[in-house]
Amino acid sequence: MAKTYSEHKIKRFRSKIHGNGVSAIAPIRKGELIVEYKGTIITHEEADERYQGPETGHTFFFILNDDYVIDANRKGNVARWLNTSCDTNCEALVHEHPGKDRKKDQVIIEAKRAIKAGEELTYDYGIVIKRKLSKEEKAKWACHCGSPKCTGTMLRKSVPK
């Protein structure tokens, strides 16, 4: 059975958080599947080769699994414009394809709670760094979500187990 998305309830707009964003144009229910994150499926190695150079704090890559990355710079859709926040209303979930072809896995943006029309849609990018962050990295990857819970950065330091 095909998944049904609520992509007709969202639109791209100029965001206060960062450049472009996505907002609801109609109410969205908790648990509603909003949109699939689309783009060209490439390997991690291809992603490294394709985008060499200094980090800018701006990316349209989404790690799909251990083998593949979604590059929304190519054949991407409106989902690439969702911003990150420290107080999110959506989550990005990887749905594994029932077969063994990991290239067919999907990323679906789902509502964590009810979302009102006019609200910006956000999720945690989950970018984890396993070392101490420099001031320069924190500045490049600054979070501007405006939440009282804001950490000031899109990067999360991993906690040793």
* Residues sharing a CB contact under 8 Å with residue 74, sequence separation 6 or more, in sequence order: 39, 40
Three-state helix/strand/coil letters over the chain: CCCCCCHHHEEEEECCCCCEEEEECCCECCCCEEEEECCEEEEHHHHHHHCCCCCCCCCCEEECCCCEEEECCCCCCHHHHCECCCCCCEEEEEECCCCCCHHHCEEEEEECCCECCCCECECCCCEEECCCCCHHHHHHCECCCCCCCCCCECEEECCCC
Q: C-alpha dihedral over 134, 125, 153, 75, to 10 degrees? A: 80
pLDDT tens per residue across span 93-113: 999 999 889 999 999 999 999
- Domains for the chain: give ranges and CATH numbers: 7-126 (2.170.270.10)
Residues of the chain with pLDDT under 70: 1-2, 52-58, 158-161
Q: What is the pLDDT of residue 18?
A: 84
Q: What is the pLDDT of residue 154?
A: 84
Distance, CA of 135 to CA of 152 (rounded, Å): 11
Q: What is the pLDDT of residue 159?
A: 55
Distance, CA of 77 to CA of 145 (rounded, Å): 22
